[in-house]
Amino acid sequence: MMKGDFDNIPIVSLAGLAEDAAPEERAKTVAALKEALETSGFAYLADHGVSEDLVEKMRQMNMAFHDLPMEEKMALKINGFHRGYMPMSSSTIVTSSVAKVTKPNRSESLMVMHEVPEDAPYAGEPLQGPNQFPASLPEVAETARAYMTEMTGLGERIAGGLAEALGLERDWFKQYFDNPTLFLRLLHYPEQPDEEELFGSAPHTDYGFVTLLKQDNVGGLEVRNKRNEWIPAPPIDGTFVMNVGDILAKWSNGRFVSTPHRVRNLSRRDRYSQPFFYDPSMSALVECPPAMLEAGETPQMEPVLYGDYLLERLNKNYDYRKKAS
Ligand X SMILES: O=C(O)CCC(=O)C(=O)O
Binding site for ligand X (CB under 6 A): 185, 187, 201, 206, 213, 215, 221, 261, 263, 273, 275
> What does the DSSP assignment read for 197-221?
T--SEEEE--SSSEEEEEE-TT--E
Centroid of chain to Cα 202: 15
Among 257, 227, 230, which residue's Cα sits nearest to residue 242? 257
* Exposure on the CB side of residue 82, measured as CA atoms within 13 A: 23
User: Of ligand X, Fe ion, none, which one does residue 83 interact with (CB within 5 to 8 Å by kind)?
Assistant: none
- Determine the residue with CB nearest Fe ion: 206
Q: How far is the CB of 151 from ligand X (least distance, A)?
A: 14
What are the beta bridge partners of residue 318? 91
Total binding residues toward Fe ion, as defined by CB under 5 A: 1
CB closer to ligand X out of 71 and 237? 237
Residues near 277 by beta carbon (within 8 Å), at least 6 away in sequence: 181, 182, 183, 184, 185, 206, 207, 208, 209, 210, 211, 212, 245
Q: Is 246 in the site for Fe ion (CB under 5 A)?
A: no
User: Of Fe ion, ligand X, none, which one does residue 62 interact with (CB within 5 to 8 Å by kind)?
Assistant: none
Q: How far is the CB of 205 from Fe ion (least distance, A)?
A: 7
CB closer to ligand X out of 133 and 189? 189
CB closer to Fe ion out of 29 and 201? 201
Q: Rounded to whole angstroms, how far apart are CA atoms 272 and 218?
A: 8
- Determine the residue with CB nearest ligand X: 273
Q: How far is the CB of 284 from Fe ion (least distance, A)?
A: 21
Binding positions for Fe ion, 89-108, rule CB under 5 A: none
CB closer to Fe ion out of 30 and 231? 231
What SS3 state is found at 285?
strand
Q: How far is the CB of 133 from Fe ion (least distance, A)?
A: 23
Mark the segment that binds Fe ion (CB under 5 A) among 61-69, 103-111, 182-190, 199-207.
199-207
CB closer to ligand X out of 39 and 215? 215
CB closer to ligand X out of 192 and 273? 273
User: Of ligand X, Fe ion, none, which one does residue 185 interact with (CB within 5 to 8 Å by kind)?
Assistant: ligand X
Angle at alpha carbon of residue 106, lines to 199 and 83, rounded to 5°:
125
Q: Is 206 in the site for Fe ion (CB under 5 A)?
A: yes
Q: How far is the CB of 296 from ligand X (least distance, A)?
A: 35
Q: How far is the CB of 243 from ligand X (least distance, A)?
A: 8
CB closer to ligand X out of 172 and 318? 318
> 3-state SS of 97-114?
CCCCCCCCCCCEEEEEEC
CB 231 within 8 A of CB 272: no
User: Of Fe ion, ligand X, none, which one does residue 184 interact with (CB within 5 to 8 Å by kind)?
Assistant: none
Q: How far is the CB of 39 from ligand X (least distance, A)?
A: 19
CB closer to ligand X out of 34 and 185? 185
Q: Quickly list H helices, the chain.
A: 23-39, 52-66, 70-74, 138-165, 246-251, 306-317, 319-324
CB 211 within 8 A of CB 245: yes
CB 6 within 8 A of CB 43: no
Among 83, 66, 84, 14, which residue's Cα sits nearest to residue 238? 14
Q: How far is the CB of 233 from Fe ion (least distance, A)?
A: 11
- Site residues, Fe ion (CB under 5 A): 206
